[in-house]
Amino acid sequence: GENVEQHPSTLSVQEGDSAVIKCTYSDSASNYFPWYKQELGKGPQLIIDIRSNVGEKKDQRIAVTLNKTAKHFSLHITETQPEDSAVYFCAARFDNFNKFYFGSGTKLNVKP
Amino acid sequence: DGGITQSPKYLFRKEGQNVTLSCEQNLNHDAMYWYRQDPGQGLRLIYYSQIVNDFQKGDIAEGYSVSREKKESFPLTVTSAQKNPTAFYLCASEGSVNVLTFGAGSRLTVL
Average pLDDT rounded to a whole number, residues A41-64: 94
Judge whether residue B57 has pLDDT over 90.
yes
- Give how far B80 is from chain A: nearest CA, Å: 26
Per-residue pLDDT, B1: 59
Q: Residue A30: what residue type?
A: S
Per-residue pLDDT, A96: 61
Per-residue pLDDT, B99: 86
Using CA atoms, how far apart are residues B91 and B98, in angstroms rounded to an integer?
15
> N- to C-terminal Cα distance for chain A?
41
Residue B98 touches partner A, C-beta closer than 8 Å: yes
Q: Which residues contact A82 (CB under 8 A, 6 or more apart)?
A: A15, A110, A111, A112
Please report the beta strands in A1-112, taking only residues with DSSP state E, as ranges in sequence order: 4-7, 10-14, 19-25, 32-38, 45-51, 56-59, 62-67, 72-77, 86-92, 101-102, 106-111
**Between the CA of residue B86 and those of A95, B23, B24, B61, B108, what are the distances in Å?**
32, 18, 22, 15, 5
Judge whether residue B97 has pLDDT over 90.
no
Average pLDDT rounded to a whole number, residues B10-32: 93
Task: Pick the residue of B49, B93, B100 with the most A CBs within 10 A to test the interface with A by mutation.
Answer: B100
B-chain residues within 8 Å CB-CB of A93? 98
